[in-house]
Amino acid sequence: MRIIKTIQEMQSFSIDMRRTGKTIGFVPTMGYLHEGHVALMKKSREINDVLITSIFVNPLQFGPNEDFEKYPRDEQRDIDIATENGVDVLFMPTVDEMYPTKQSIQIEILDRVDVLCGKSRPGHFDGVATVLLKLFHITSPDHVFFGKKDAQQVAVVDQLIKELNFPIQLHMVETVREEDGLAKSSRNVYLSPKERSEAVHLFKGLQIAQQKIFDGEKNPAIIVNEVKNYIITHTTGKIDYIEILRFPSLQPLTVIDQQIIVAVAVQFDQARLIDNLII
């Protein structure tokens, strides 16, 4: 596996690969790799000649009171996991490499961001879009891979690729879960033992919503209220949101009659957890 830390070297590599007709799969991450990231890597390996994974904790997507400095990092562990899972190039730029000067161009996402995580994290997806625009230009991928757990991010990336005419195919990969159903996340390490035992109820609440829909309930407000009561009863976390929206447009609806997302976010003491089901 080759480790690249400069934009120039990364761009040169991608240009060389494309000249030889090889397809490039790209998995962007913020590191502290886990089984969810590995699932993305494996999916990319199935359909691409070359796999590039990036590790970059992007400061632009963290708010003033969020955990940029505390975000878990373990460079050697990440290198080992990437090596074991067939990554050809691990792109690991520094903040100064990615943002050598103050940004003079501002990316603003106007749609799909005033709900779910975007509602309580203003500017977050502007930061996500900025770094992804840069990474797409630097790595020149044919295919990119994101997990369903970050479904709002997937919806924003879908919009980004289509509206800015990137010749990239987006792949949404199933959420990888612990045995008890908790979605894999780098932030799970911040849960206390008590919170970890409670966290499984986020997914169980989503399963209740899914079953209600399968049983014929079409009123999203009724389902949201039931999930809310369940999570309040079974956890000590503070609910940030429980929403049912069209997917991927993330528009509100009054009757469930098409593909939707049921999504939850709960703030525990040191970790904010998100999860969803697309139905």
- Known binding-site positions: 30-37, 61, 147-150, 153, 176, 184-187
- Asked, as a colleague might, if the bond just before 248 is cis with ω within 30 of 0, I would say yes
Identified catalytic residue from 37, 124, 143, 201: 37
Exposure on the CB side of residue 238, measured as CA atoms within 13 A: 7
The annotated binding site for ATP is made up of 30-37, 147-150, 176, 184-187
Q: How far is the C-alpha of 75 from the C-alpha of 33, rounded, in Å? A: 10
171 is catalytic: no
Closest by CA to 55, choosing from 12, 98, 86, is 98
Residues whose CB falls within 8 Å of the CB of residue 125, separated by 6 or more in sequence, listed in order: 61, 109, 112, 113, 118, 152, 153, 156
Tokens of 56: 């970059």
Cβ(22)–Cβ(44) below 8 Å: no
The annotated binding site for (R)-pantoate is made up of 61, 153
Alpha-carbon dihedral angle through residues 235, 260, 177, 207, given to the nearest 10 degrees? 50
Tokens of 121: 């994290």
Closest by CA to 159, choosing from 120, 122, 128, 116, is 128
Residues whose CB falls within 8 Å of the CB of residue 229, separated by 6 or more in sequence, listed in order: none
The annotated binding site for beta-alanine is made up of 61
Q: Write the DSSP symbol of residue 77.
A: H
From residue 42, give the alpha-carbon distance in Å to each of 2, 37, 52, 173, 264: 18, 9, 12, 10, 27
Q: Which residues are catalytic?
A: 37
